[in-house]
Amino acid sequence: MAVLDTAAATHVAHRDNHTHRDVNGGWLRPAVFGAMDGLVSNVALMTGVAGGTASADAIVIAGLAGLAAGAFSMAAGEYTSVASQRELVLAELDVERRELRKHPADELEELAALYESRGVEPKLAREVARQLSKDPEQALEIHAREELGIDPADLPSPTVAAVSSFGSFALGALLPVLPYLLGATQLWPAVLLALLGLFACGAVVARVTARTWWFSGLRQLLLGGAAAGVTYLLGIAFGTAVG
């Protein structure tokens, strides 16, 4: 009895701890990409303008314009790309649904052959395929998973992607502008805050990846710093050439 209780407790502990994070949702990639892009692109834009010996007012206007333009552009791009991908998937699902309706026997054999290729005995593979194919919607889901590598019930949402992208880009792009809005008149507070934001974003992203927080944070800081430095030098060069 004690052995059974121990086994049951082990099973419960494994069930409770063996969970996975959402890797297919439509929010993480655009949110992360939006925040990083907002920080890097806006601090690069502002340093480029500052390199051209522009006034503080011009830098603020450039930063706010970059925030608005970038946020709307990211949201529109994410919505269009995710919607197009979703429409393609739905079209392929319609193709598979028609095949299941017109050629059920062939689709059953196809599924059985797939299980056989994975080591299931032929007789058992055919029986499993037959039972799973009784429900048309379940059959469609299984064929979609096995042939297309997708889950029909877990398709990314264009709206979620667009909103996530818009909000995260705007938040990231706001950081380098914030010191100027609070009264700063020099560039270095904006660059410092942006670099700290890049490091923090990288560290946060490490929580949902296999990387260490310091590696991910340092990588984002170096990439963003390089972009800001290059655009600052280009701003100086362009400002000298125009002047």
Considering the chain, what percentage of its residues have pLDDT values greater than 90?
47
Query: What pLDDT score does 83 carry?
Result: 95
Residue with the bigger pLDDT between 4 and 212: it is: 212
- Distance, in Å, from the CA atom of 177 to the CA atom of 164, rounded to the nearest integer, reads 21
- Distance, in Å, from the CA atom of 50 to the CA atom of 48, rounded to the nearest integer, reads 5
Query: What pLDDT score does 124 carry?
Result: 93
For the chain, the first-to-last Cα distance in angstroms comes to: 89
Query: What pLDDT score does 25 carry?
Result: 46
pTM assigned to the model = 0.75
- Distance, in Å, from the CA atom of 165 to the CA atom of 41, rounded to the nearest integer, reads 14
CA atoms within 13 A on the CB side of 168: 23
| Lowest-confidence region among 5-9, 148-152, 169-173, 184-188 | 5-9
Among residues 57, 62, 35, 34, the alpha carbon closest in space to that of 46 is found at 62
Among residues 46, 65, 33, the alpha carbon closest in space to that of 229 is found at 46
Return the SS3 of 1: coil
Angle at 209 between CA 204 and CA 210, to 5 degrees: 120
Distances (CA, A) of 57 to 34, 54, 64, 222: 25, 8, 11, 28
120: left (phi over 0), alpha (psi -120 to 50) or beta: beta
Query: What pLDDT score does 5 carry?
Result: 53
Q: pLDDT band at 23, cuts 50/70/90?
A: very low
Query: What pLDDT score does 211 carry?
Result: 80
Looking at residue 160, its amino acid is V
Q: Which pair of tokens denotes residue 97?
A: 């649904």
